[in-house]
């Protein structure tokens, strides 16, 4: 395995999804887990992020064996499909929806404990609706739900990654500063930021400065270009971003949440090549 320009503290990951998705989704090897794991191992990746709709439908033992056989770790378990496909949301005004959302997140945390990963909270935090008062009530439900889930995950030794999402996909917590503010309000030590350069390109005026401001609260990074393809395919200037990560001593995963363009394998190869050449 080639080092990242001599850096031994950073790791490379591919973002895979267990369930079939539209081809435009920024996820690789959708519904083809074994193929995706084989590609990650063959390309010399250190781990994979797994998008899982319902962890209770996943055999944790089988998953561990597949990962171990290929020498792969797990960066995090992503939860966003539960919002898009099952309508689960921490912001919901319906107590039953919030209850089922918490049960789903807790199932993710139990699987994360087993495979040694974190859990990402992105779209599953939900959308804010109504007038200003209703939106503030929804934000408070997100805050309370995040605090409850983070406390549960902390008891299992599992990190929680809060992912800011651009305004066209979610109407709350769009930028890194907004994510840091929510983390401060949650007040549980195992909550960290997930910085995704695709979303940051839209919402963060100075990406490098905001990464530096995140400092030790930055727990995980998605590298994707402005067009949601592998870095080098769009107009994002990654030099100051990578310099900022070096400056704050970031030592986690750099993962590819990118569109499978022109296809899954070539997209993954381009991502890994970029990381080997530039990081």
Active site residues: 163, 257
Joined tokens for residue 181: 């503010």
Tokens of 114: 């087993």
Beta strands in the chain (DSSP E): 11-17, 47-51, 73-78, 118-121, 160-162, 191-196, 218-222, 253-256
Long-range contacts of 204-209 (CB under 8 A, 24+ apart): 204/175, 204/176, 204/177, 207/240, 207/241, 207/244, 208/240, 208/241, 208/243, 208/244, 209/244
Q: Which distant-in-sequence residues (6+ apart) come within 8 Å of 169 by Cβ?
A: 123, 199
The alpha-carbon radius of gyration of the chain (Å, integer) is 18
DSSP state letters, 123-139: GGG----SSHHHHHHHH
CA distances from 141 to 92, 167, 169, 203 (A): 8, 19, 19, 24
């Amino acid at each position: 395995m080639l080092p990242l320009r001599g850096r031994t503290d950073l790791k490379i990951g591919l973002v895979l999804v267990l369930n079939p998705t539209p081809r435009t989704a920024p996820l690789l090897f959708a519904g083809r887990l074994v193929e995706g794991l084989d590609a990650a191992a063959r390309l010399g990746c250190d781990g994979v992020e797994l998008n899982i709709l319902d962890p209770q439908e996943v055999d944790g033992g089988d998953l561990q064996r597949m990962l171990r056989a290929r020498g792969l770790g797990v960066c995090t378990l992503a939860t966003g499909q539960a919002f898009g496909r099952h309508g689960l949301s921490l912001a919901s005004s319906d107590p039953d929806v919030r209850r089922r959302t918490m049960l789903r997140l807790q199932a993710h945390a139990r699987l994360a404990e087993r495979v040694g990963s974190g859990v990402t909270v992105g779209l599953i935090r939900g959308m804010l609706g109504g007038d200003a008062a209703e939106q503030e009530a929804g934000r408070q439900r997100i805050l309370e739900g995040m605090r409850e889930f983070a406390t549960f995950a902390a008891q299992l030794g599992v990190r929680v990654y809060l992912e800011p999402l651009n305004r066209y996909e979610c109407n709350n917590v769009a930028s890194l500063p907004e994510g840091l503010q929510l983390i401060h309000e949650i007040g549980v030590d195992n909550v960290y930021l997930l910085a995704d350069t695709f979303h940051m390109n839209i919402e963060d005026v100075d990406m490098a400065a905001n990464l530096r401001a995140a400092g030790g609260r930055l727990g995980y990074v998605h590298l994707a270009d402005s067009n949601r393809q592998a870095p080098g395919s769009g107009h994002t200037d990654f030099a100051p971003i990578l310099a900022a990560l070096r400056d704050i001593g970031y030592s986690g995963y750099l993962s590819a949440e990118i569109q499978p363009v022109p296809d899954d394998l070539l997209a993954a190869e381009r991502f890994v090549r970029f990381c080997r050449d530039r990081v």
